[in-house]
A = this chain, B = another copy of it.
Amino acid sequence: MPTFQRHVFVCVNERPADHPKGCCKQKGGEQVRDALKKKLGERGIKSEVRANNAGCLDQCEQGVTVVVYPEQVWYGHVTVADLDELIDTHIVGGEVVERLLLPDQPHLEGRRSFGRLRLPVVS
């Protein structure tokens, strides 16, 4: 069984092209997911972190929406260009990326720090 220290879900939901909310697929969700998976692989942290696509996370206006568990930190308007910072700062570093954070996340209780990723010691 996997034990992921962080599990990152990227919305790739598709709505009809004329839907007023838009959708994460149209806004690049699949590209973000694919690039995130690739970058996690390149950094050799795929055993510690998994990226998955998810169905609609109900934040279509804020798409591309990404949620990081177990801390349930919600990010919006994420692009491929944001991923290195998201990985370095949050996924590895454990610190929230303030500029991408969606507003109103009372469950975080103001917390912005969740602990660095623990990596195996290479001898």
A residues bordering B, Cβ < 8 Å?
Answer: 1-4, 7, 9, 33, 50, 52-59, 67, 69-72, 74, 102-107
Contacts and interface: CB of A to CB of B under 8 A. Distances in A.
Contact of A69 (B1, B7, B33, B55): B7
B52 A1 contact: no
Contact of A53 (B33, B50, B55, B102): B55
Contacts of A52: 9, 54-57
Given A54-B52, A54-B53, A55-B52, A1 B103 contact: yes
Given A1-B103, A102-B1, A104-B1, A7 B55 contact: no
Nearest to A11: B52
Number of copies: 2
Which one of A33, A55, A59, A72 has the greatest number of beta carbons of chain B within 10 Å?
Answer: A55
A49 to B, nearest CB: 12
Contacts of A56: 52
A50 B4 CA distance: 20
A9 B11 CA distance: 12
Contacts of A2: 57-59, 74
